[in-house]
């Protein structure tokens, strides 16, 4: 792992359980990493959320997207970050796994989308 990746993981791993997807969307998910969802869903919960709000795959874990919504409401986020919660986020590009989202933000690589996909969701740099 390169130096930047090592530093990013050392910072974001303990705080957000970062999985180093390389396309960070924390700003739009109430500072909740969607890659910690067992299905790695980046646009909201699946249909399997249990009545108690826990995950259908890991019954002892609260649904990542319910946590994200609660945090979006509760944390002192920038208003535009709160609005970005409803963005349609593009599919995750697994080719970026393990790379630094910080580098990909600066280079714009994290905003490249698959052919046929509409413009990428507004990015943190555009808030």
20 in contact with ligand SF4 (CB under 6 A): yes
Binding mask 37-76 for ligand SF4 (x = CB under 6 A): ----------------------------------------
DSSP state of 27: G
Interface with ligand SF4 (CB under 6 A), residue from 35, 55, 63, 121: 35
Closest C-alpha to 17, from 42, 41, 30, 35 = 35
Here the tokens at position 78 are 């920038």
101 in contact with ligand SF4 (CB under 6 A): yes
Quote the CA–CA distance of 94 and 65 in Å, as a whole number. 21
Rg (CA), the chain: 15
Positions touching ligand SF4 (CB under 6 A) are: 12, 16, 18-21, 24-26, 33, 35, 101
């Amino acid at each position: 792992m390169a130096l930047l990746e090592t530093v990013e993981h050392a910072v974001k791993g303990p705080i957000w359980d970062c999985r180093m997807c390389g396309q960070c969307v924390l700003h739009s998910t109430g500072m909740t990493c969607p890659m910690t969802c067992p299905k790695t869903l980046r646009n909201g919960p699946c249909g399997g959320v249990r009545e108690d709000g826990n995950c259908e795959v890991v019954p002892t874990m609260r649904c990542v997207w319910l946590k994200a919504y609660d945090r979006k409401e509760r944390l002192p986020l920038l208003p535009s970050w709160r609005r970005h919660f409803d963005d349609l986020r593009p599919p995750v590009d697994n080719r970026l796994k393990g790379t630094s989202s910080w580098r990909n933000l600066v280079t714009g690589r994290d905003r490249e989308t698959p052919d046929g996909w509409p413009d990428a969701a507004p990015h943190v740099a555009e808030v």
